[in-house]
Amino acid sequence: MKKLLTGNEAIARGAYEAGVHFASAYPGTPSTEILENIGTYKEIIAEWAPNEKVALETVIGASIAGGRALAAMKHVGVNVAADPLFTFAYTGVNGGAVLISADEPGMHSSQNEQDNRNYAKFAKIPMLEPSTSQEAKDMVIAAFELSERFDTIVMIRLTTRVCHSKSMVSLNERKKVTPKVYEKDFNKYVAVPAIGRQLRHKVEERLTKLKAYTNDSDLNYSVNNSKQEGVIVSGMAYQFAREALGDTVDYLKLGFTHPLPKDTIDTFCQSHDKVYIIEENDPYIEEFAKQLGHHVVGKDIFPYSGELTPDVIRRAVLSENIENLEVNKDKIVNRPPTFCSGCPHRGFFYELGKKRRKIIVAGDIGCYSLAVGQPYDMMDWLICMGAAYSTGHGAQTITDLKPDDDRRLVSVMGDSTFFHTGINSLLNTVYNGGKTINIILDNRITGMTGQQDNPGSGYKLQGETAQIGDIEAICKALGIKHVRKINPNDLKEVKATINWALELDEMSVIITNWPCVLKKRYKEEDFETYKDMWQTQDMVMQDTCTGCKACLRSGCPSLVFDKEKGKMSIDRTTCVGCDVCLQICPYDAIVKAGDAA
Amino acid sequence: MTRSIKLVGVGGQGTILAAKVLCDALINAGYDVKMSEIHGMSQRGGSVSSEIRFGDEVYSPVIEKGKADVLIAFELMEAERALDYLSKDGLLIVNNHKINSMVTLNGKVPYPEGIVEDLKSKVNTVVVNASDEAIALGNAKVMNIMMLGALVNADDLHTLDIEQSIENTVKEKFISLNKQAFQKGKEL
């Protein structure tokens, strides 16, 4: 049977058909749907981990114990997981192990554009690169066979367009794989220096075998159109190149891209007058080919950044420009991303914004990154997951050295980021006697990537209920003296708490606790904790509204200004009654819809 | 030959479902099909698009600027925003419907006037009142399937069995309503 699947769905299907027993991931665009889809197969145990390092480590354990296991993450997640990856590359596997890295040429939803093919070379592990959903599925199955045959974790490198585009995939049955026997093997798995020195040679021997194998791999193949010009290409760039150049060139399509096939590339280069290397991001294949002494054309004509879509390739190779219809800029207005109506971050940032001159805001990655824009202007920097507390601490240390600067560092991150790596950073501030103000915007879910459960949400990936990580208790257990948990929709409480923290000369933690308006699953007790959650609406008393627009400083998309009447109103289809605008209105013109007389 | 259809709209208008139905019909008609979307921040009310390419063998899942054969816009401003994707000889099918963005709601800038005239002056444009007709049918949400009716009517895709694909794709209790919407769309 054939089905139209995204690359991510196809990876999940591949895991199912390969007989995978265990999979783990931390959500991150464009990789998130891989584990969500694996979770739909009840034959596989699929778990969200609090971060990518933990995800890969659970997979390592599962592999050593004899299971087939897969970890999935976005490109920057591999940075977090790099530590276990590099040593697992030494020990090798028992059951097959596969790491999926989803890269982002063009940075649609990421902070950088790093090319994770470099990781395969760096860690000395084999790498496969699919260009369609069918290849994505087939390569997962091939990766597990390679993993067990060559005793190594295998990396599959995807890019956004492979992850999120759909193409036809043939479905097969699940292979029945019984977990292998685990026998204690000190010389293989205990990477103390003495053993590490032995394993180091094993890695090199493995690499030599892989270098021979990659030349024979049918994942590397050529498309012969009997032309003098050739293109060496991998991943989605292959589909883009074929679209742009059609049958006017020959292709060497590489699917097994670490180690690269030296002999195959030599032969292809020698049999063509001119060879282009078309690859997104770094000149990974190009440098290899040049090292072999071939005169190839690569990043001298193709951009080093962004996606190499067919138009980009046409422009570079054929100097061809397509004339477009012109968009009349006067006829469009942006639809900027913003906090949803009822978003629990709104009230907090509204109040914090009033302290703008007294504070520096260390930001982090999540929905609250949107506070960087108007009307909040609430972020001085954003680096990586979990960095708000630690960068804040470092910045406070230096700020305090300046006699004329008494600004306080306010570090903001969400619950999922806190569980990810924020805990470590917060512990550092406690330990070193810092005095930052640390915010945990606890909306009880991983919001930005689309409602994934986490250790604070009360549910696991495959639907079972879970223990709820108690953020307040964790903070107290870390040794933090000043911890307050507040309702971010209560502006008086928010304001008083921010003032309280600013007056302290020691570190503090403020936990703003209210569920994301999009959160789908609740426990019974949640309905008591979060009273009348989303059950009400606010409205504007037209007689009382002066049209002063003070409420717009909340940045709520439900607020509508009627220019003719000069008055505000509230969109009844989107308002969920969070009352933030109601509390901001200086004329008490906004009331609960049910209370209107 | 590979053909390209781009669907654009505002989050919540059902572009993804419409694209799904259309893809299903194209696959059943024997085409190779690729479809592309960019997922990311789960926000409401943003610009969204789905790209469908079909033919004997499709390579790129992405439509280049200036290369879409048909642009189906569920909203006026989104039609203008995506216009540079449409081929000069292409067909624009636009739903005559405005959805405000936060900045227009807030009264900071007005929703632009004269979009239909601007579009018509540039390219072969079919304007349909699908949102109004969908409300008349009893459910504003079926506007998306109505737009597919307008598509098969205006383009040479009338051989596609969209009704079968509605049955394959849409939730059981909405099948009949969506079929009505599709038929209505063919008349617009």
- In this prediction, residue B44 carries a pLDDT of 63
Higher model confidence: residue B152 or residue B155? B152
Using CA atoms, how far apart are residues A81 and B34, in angstroms rounded to an integer? 33
Residue in A562, A551, A543 with CA at minimum distance from that of residue A585: A551
DSSP E strands in A109-264: the ranges are 127-128, 154-159, 165-170, 220-223, 229-234, 250-254, 256-258
The CATH number given to A345-529 is: 3.40.50.970
Above 50 in pLDDT, residue B42? no
Please judge whether B60 and A310 are an interchain contact, meaning their C-beta atoms are less than 8 angstroms apart: yes
DSSP structural state of residue B70 = E
Q: Which domain holds residue B171?
A: 3-187
pLDDT (tens digit, 9 = 90+) per residue, A134-150?
Answer: 999 999 999 999 999 99
Q: Which of B34, B38, B46 sits opposite A335 (nearest CB)?
A: B46
Q: Which of B23, B65, B83 sits opposite A4 (nearest CB)?
A: B23
- C-beta separation of A135 from B67 below 8 A: no
Helices (H), A271-420: 284-291, 310-318, 345-353, 387-399, 415-417
Using CA atoms, how far apart are residues A8 and A34, in angstroms rounded to an integer? 5
Instruction: Specify the CATH architecture of the domain A220-318.
Output: 3-Layer(aba) Sandwich (3.40)
Helical axes A133-150 vs A193-216, angle rounded to 10°: 130
A494 SS3 class: helix
User: A518: distance to nearest CA of chain B, Å?
Assistant: 9
Contacts of B114 in chain A (CB under 8 A): 331
Q: Is the dihedral of CA A65, A69, A72, A75 positive or negative?
A: positive
With tokens 């192990």, the residue in question is A97
DSSP E strands in A255-370: the ranges are 256-258, 274-278, 296-297, 359-362
A175 SS3 class: coil
Give the chain A residue nearest B31 (alpha carbons). Answer: A168
Specify the long-range contacts of residues B35-38, CB closer than 8 Å, at least 24 apart. Answer: B35/A4, B35/A165, B35/A166, B35/A167, B35/B61, B36/A161, B36/A164, B36/A165, B36/A166, B36/B61, B36/B62, B36/B63, B37/A164, B37/A165, B38/A108, B38/A160, B38/A164
Residue in A115, A96, A93, A94 with CA at minimum distance from that of residue A104: A115
A495 SS3 class: helix
Higher model confidence: residue A375 or residue B123? B123
Q: Identify from A314, A331, A368, A575 which residue to disrupt to test chain B contact, counting B C-beta atoms within 10 A and taking the largest count.
A: A331
Q: How many helices (H) and strands (E) does chain A have?
A: 21, 23
Contacts of A563 in chain B (CB under 8 A): 107, 110
Please judge whether A336 and B38 are an interchain contact, meaning their C-beta atoms are less than 8 angstroms apart: no
Question: Mean pLDDT over all residues of chain A?
Answer: 96
pLDDT interval class at B108 (50, 70, 90): confident
Output the domain CATH number for residue B136: 3.40.920.10
Using CA atoms, how far apart are residues A531 and A442, in angstroms rounded to an integer? 16
pLDDT (tens digit, 9 = 90+) per residue, A264-294?
Answer: 999 999 999 999 999 999 999 999 999 999 9
- C-beta separation of B166 from B145 below 8 A: yes
Sorted by sequence, the CB contacts under 8 Å of residue B181 that are 6+ apart come out as: B134, B137, B142, B143, B145, B146, B149
Above 90 in pLDDT, residue A329? yes
Contacts of A553 in chain B (CB under 8 A): none
Domain A538-595 has CATH 3.30.360.10: no
- In this prediction, residue B43 carries a pLDDT of 56
Length of chain B: 188
Q: How many domains does chain B divide into? A: 1
Q: Do domains A220-318 and A538-595 have the same CATH topology?
A: no
User: A561: distance to nearest CA of chain B, Å?
Assistant: 5
pLDDT interval class at A430 (50, 70, 90): very high
- Residue A404's Cβ-side half-sphere holds a number of Cα atoms within 13 Å equal to 0
A208 SS3 class: helix
Phi, psi of A361 (to 5 degrees): -110, 115
Contacts of B60 in chain A (CB under 8 A): 239-240, 242-244, 309-310
Give the chain A residue nearest B51 (alpha carbons). Answer: A165
**Looking at A236-245, A344-353, A475-484, B7-16, which range is the least confident one?**
B7-16
Using CA atoms, how far apart are residues B95 and B99, in angstroms rounded to an integer? 11
Distances (CA, A) of A454 to A12, A48, A339, A420, A469: 20, 7, 21, 9, 9
Facing residues of A253 across strands?
A221, A233
| A·B CB contacts under 8 A | 159
Using CA atoms, how far apart are residues A398 and A380, in angstroms rounded to an integer? 15
Using CA atoms, how far apart are residues A208 and A79, in angstroms rounded to an integer? 26
Domain positions in chain A: 2-216, 220-318, 345-529, 538-595
User: B101: distance to nearest CA of chain A, Å?
Assistant: 5
Contacts of B32 in chain A (CB under 8 A): 168
Q: Which of A161, A310, A337 sits opposite B41 (nearest CB)?
A: A337
Contacts of B44 in chain A (CB under 8 A): 340, 557, 574
Distances (CA, A) of A378 to A57, A227, A412, A417: 35, 57, 10, 18
Q: Identify from A325, A346, A446, A570 which residue to disrupt to test chain B contact, counting B C-beta atoms within 10 A and taking the largest count.
A: A325
**Looking at A431-435, A527-531, A575-579, B44-48, which range is the least confident one?**
B44-48
pLDDT (tens digit, 9 = 90+) per residue, B164-176?
Answer: 999 999 999 999 9
Above 80 in pLDDT, residue B2? yes
Q: Which of A167, A367, A561 sits opposite B61 (nearest CB)?
A: A167
- C-beta separation of A219 from A154 below 8 A: no
Using CA atoms, how far apart are residues A14 and A3, in angstroms rounded to an integer? 13
Taking residues A193-207, what's their average pLDDT?
97
The phi-psi region of residue A40 (left if phi > 0; otherwise alpha if psi is between -120 and 50; otherwise beta) is alpha
User: A520: distance to nearest CA of chain B, Å?
Assistant: 14
Give the chain A residue nearest B27 (alpha carbons). Answer: A4
Contacts of A518 in chain B (CB under 8 A): 42
Q: Which run of H or of E encompasses A497?
A: helix A491-503
Residue B16, both tokens = 């993804």
- In this prediction, residue B102 carries a pLDDT of 83
Question: Mean pLDDT over all residues of chain B?
Answer: 93
pLDDT interval class at A522 (50, 70, 90): confident
Share of chain A above pLDDT 70, in %: 99
Using CA atoms, how far apart are residues A17 and A138, in angstroms rounded to an integer? 9
Length of chain A: 597
For chain A, how far is it from start to end, CA to CA, in angstroms?
62
- In this prediction, residue B39 carries a pLDDT of 59
Phi, psi of A326 (to 5 degrees): -90, 135
Instruction: Report the top-level CATH class of A2-216.
Output: alpha beta
pLDDT interval class at A322 (50, 70, 90): confident
User: A187: distance to nearest CA of chain B, Å?
Assistant: 44
pLDDT (tens digit, 9 = 90+) per residue, A4-58?
Answer: 999 999 999 999 999 999 999 999 999 999 999 999 999 999 999 999 999 999 9
Contacts of B47 in chain A (CB under 8 A): 335
- C-beta separation of A590 from A581 below 8 A: yes
Taking residues B72-88, what's their average pLDDT?
97
Residue in A350, A537, A351, A519 with CA at minimum distance from that of residue A442: A519
Give the chain A residue nearest B65 (alpha carbons). Answer: A324
With tokens 């390579």, the residue in question is B59
pLDDT (tens digit, 9 = 90+) per residue, A398-415?
Answer: 999 999 999 999 999 999
Q: Which of A30, A324, A333 sits opposite B103 (nearest CB)?
A: A333
pLDDT (tens digit, 9 = 90+) per residue, A123-132?
Answer: 999 999 999 9
Radius of gyration of chain A (CA): 27
- Burial string for B131-145 (b: 16+ CB within 10 Å, else e) reads bebbeebeebbbbbb
Above 70 in pLDDT, residue A596? no
